[in-house]
Structure 1
Amino acid sequence: MKAIVIIVIAALLVAAGVGGSYWYGQKNPPVVEQAKPLFYPLDRFVISVDSPQHSRYLVLELTLVSHDQMVLAMLQDAAPLLRNTLVQHFSNSNHVDVKTGFKDIPQVQEQLLEKFNLTLRQHKFSHQIEQVLVTNVFIQ
């Protein structure tokens, strides 16, 4: 009789362990990071910049980088917010400021990364972008 009770208790403990592992795995799926970076190109961004003599424009192409597939999945939903962040960042810039600023592209990339990640946090997105690449810039 004791043997049967011990077997039943052992079976219940095993079942509870398997069930708990399954439940925990569903609530907290493992984060799988890719070995190589994943890229999300944003649509071309064009904005006019202030100039006293002529109409001037900044044309900017950016690519966002992450190693997490979940980040890329949410970027399509977040793209309008990120474009709005670009408008806010460059809306009060003049032609000289833009030309001067883009002489230090790593600094521009870092500024945009900080602004993008702040925007994502403010709008309750749980993932963050790892890097912003300036893939093309044209200042007319």
Structure 2
Amino acid sequence: MKTLILIVAAVCLIAVGVGGSYWYSQQNPQVAEPTRPLFFPLERFVISVDSQHHSRYLVLELTLVSHDPVVLAMLQDAVPLLRNALVQHFSNSQHLDVKNDFKDIPQVQAQLLHEFNQALRLHKFSHQIEQVLVTNVFIQ
């Protein structure tokens, strides 16, 4: 009889522990720790821009950002597409237009992000870049 009472008490104690644990987890949901961003620097990009009197160049260094390591692994294969998107974006640019555009860096970053992700989608890459950072720009 004492054994039966001990078994019932143990089962009740376990049930209370499991129930209390469930209740606590519902009241205090665990917050996922934010992951750090991952960076993929592109090689320096140099392109000539039209000017009436002199040869002018745009030198641009970009870093791509994602929180997903799979995206970073995929980017190595996509570099030619991304560089081509840069050439298409700046190929018919005038020197003064480029200088004016780079007065609003966030706008340039947003445009390049859109064009990069569009190029990736067009070529059946399933992942997207989260952000484009302009890490260095020189307009001569």
TM-score bracket relative to the smaller structure: 0.7 to 0.9
- Aligned AA for 1:70? V
**1:44 is matched with which residue?**
44
Take 2:91 and 2:118, find their aligned partners in 1: how far apart are those partners?
18
Q: What is the aligned partner in structure 2 of residue 136 from structure 1?
A: 136
| Residue segments in structure 1 that go unaligned for 5+ positions in a row | 1-32
Spell out, residue by residue over 1:76-101, the C-alpha distance to the aligned partner (whole angstroms, 9 max, x if none): 00000000000000000010000000
User: How many equivalent pairs are there?
Assistant: 108
Q: Name the amino acid aligned to 2:57.
A: Y
Q: Give, as a single letter, the amino acid of the residue that structure 1 aligns with 2:127.
A: H
Q: Scaled by the length of structure 2, what TM-score is found?
A: 0.76
Find the aligned partners of 1:84 and 1:43 in 2 and give their Cα distance: 13
Q: By how many angstroms is 1:126 displaced?
A: 0.3
CA distance 1:94–1:119, change in 2 (3 Å) = same
* Corresponding letter in the other structure for 2:112: L
Give RMSD over aligned pairs.
1.2
Q: Distance in 2 between matches of 1:116 and 1:48?
A: 20
**Percent identity for Structure 1 against Structure 2:** 81
Contact 1:34/1:69, CA 8 A, preserved across alignment: no
Tell me whether 1:53 sits opposite 2:53 in the alignment: yes
SS in 2 for 1:35: coil
Deviation at 1:128, TM superposition (A): 0.2
Partner of 1:95: 95
Deviations along 1:11-70, one digit per CA (max 9) or x if unpaired, are xxxxxxxxxxxxxxxxxxxxxx97100000000000000000100000000000000000
User: Counterparts of 2:95 and 2:89 in 1: how far apart (Å)?
Assistant: 14
Runs of 4 or more, structure 1, over 3 Å off, are none
Unaligned runs of 5+ in 2: 1-32
